[in-house]
Amino acid sequence: MAEVVKVMTKEDFESAKAKGHIEEKSLQTEGFIHCCTPEQVEEIKAKHFSGKETVVLTLDQERLGDSVVFERAKNGGMYPHVYEAIPIEAIPIEAIIALRNL
């Protein structure tokens, strides 16, 4: 199974940590949170986060369970979608520690 990665602004990540979960507008409007695979990170950053300070988070799929679904996007690529708020606990502690050291 492919790794699931969440790209977001550093500011949004700080807000998510304070709330205890990642919950984006797309969860209400589309029913899921957009994620990607490690191979898609640069494409996603260029398309949606150009000029912004971002963090790239690898998610623990075991903690997310069946809420992760890989689906075909309009561009033909397969992208992971998470059909619930992503708990901060789904981000391995090693990733959070690494971000603190940036």
The whole model's pTM is what?
A: 0.87
Amino acid at 98: A
CA distances from 27 to 32, 51, 101 (A): 4, 24, 30
Query: How much is the pLDDT for 23?
Result: 95
Provide block-wise average pLDDT over 10 residues at a time, the chain (102 residues).
Answer: 89 94 96 96 92 91 94 94 96 61 46
Query: How much is the pLDDT for 95?
Result: 57
Whole-number Å distance between alpha carbons of 11 and 25? 15
Query: How much is the pLDDT for 2?
Result: 77
CATH C-level class of 4-87? alpha beta
Whole-number Å distance between alpha carbons of 48 and 95? 22
